[in-house]
Amino acid sequence: MSNILDKIFVDKQKELQGTKREHPLSELKQRIGNQAPVRNVFTALNANKHSNIIAEIKQRTPFKGELRENFNAQEIAGEYVKNGAVTLSILTESNYFGSNIGILEEVRPIAPIPLLRKDFISDDYQVYESRAYGADLFLLIATWLEQSQLTDLLLLGQELGMPALVETHNEWDMEKAFEAKAKLIGVNNRDLTNGKTDLDISRRLIPMALQEPDVTLVCESGIRGREEISEFEQLGAKAFLIGESLMTSENIPETLKGFLGNGDKQTSSQS
């Protein structure tokens, strides 16, 4: 295995074998029937006059370790919702991010806004699983998925009423997203093989993405303050997925307000 991204995906696929035995697909489909209707992320992203922040809940990362002491997903979700987040991103990967898919169920009663399941998805089962536990959309990482996988998983999500956020890191990923007819595309400024961020990735890829009609762009990682948000909004980004800056903040409400442009001060930490 050449990098941490490969290792995460391979370990996730091994773990999935046991998950399928413990919770068969028939069980997931029954759970889906009990879920409330999908909350429309496109509606959420067009309902606000301020900047659109997708606020992330994650306990740890393989690059930075533990991000927050006394981690409480429900409390964090409540602060995000009260202070202007339009969507929540929920990390559910267990081996490297210290989470689990049950976090979606914990957060759902607190959050009347869309929930993004952020995980390392490469199997149809995980798409059903996302919906069964209350997600409204899910992440697909174009870098790791073959074109046929990406297209098929995106289509399955559409059958279940869920869009996918197709995450890109370079021009080749963007071409994959176009071929799969993705309408919600993320540009991740973080290299998932080493954790480093480079905002020039968004400066390069956002104009490329907007050549396709009806594409909604999400800028991910490396956003430190309002100045960068304003820059990327002018380029055409519709929303900003921010995690570590919020998770490590001593005052989540003020940090989030700073990103939105209505706080007492701007944040300067790493997202």
Q: Is 176 helix (H, G, I), strand (E, B) or coil?
A: helix
Kindly state the tokens that stand for 239.
């929303």
Which of 12, 93, 118, 228 does the annotation list as catalytic?
118
Note if 269 is an active site residue: no
Note if 56 is an active site residue: yes
Note if 58 is an active site residue: yes
Which of 79, 93, 220, 228 does the annotation list as catalytic?
220
Which of 12, 52, 56, 271 does the annotation list as catalytic?
56
Note if 129 is an active site residue: no
Note if 188 is an active site residue: yes
Which of 12, 51, 52, 58 does the annotation list as catalytic?
58
Contact 256, 82 (CB under 8 A): no
- How far apart, in whole angstroms, are the C-alpha atoms of residue 35 and residue 134? 6
Which of 167, 183, 228, 244 does the annotation list as catalytic?
167
Contact 188, 56 (CB under 8 A): no
- How far apart, in whole angstroms, are the C-alpha atoms of residue 94 and residue 59? 10
**Beta partners for residue 66, in sequence order:** 60
Which of 188, 189, 249, 271 does the annotation list as catalytic?
188
For 190-214, b/e burial (b = at least 16 CB within 10 A) is: bbbeeeebebebbeebbeebeeeee
Which of 221, 245, 249, 271 does the annotation list as catalytic?
221
Active site residues: 56, 58, 118, 167, 188, 220-221
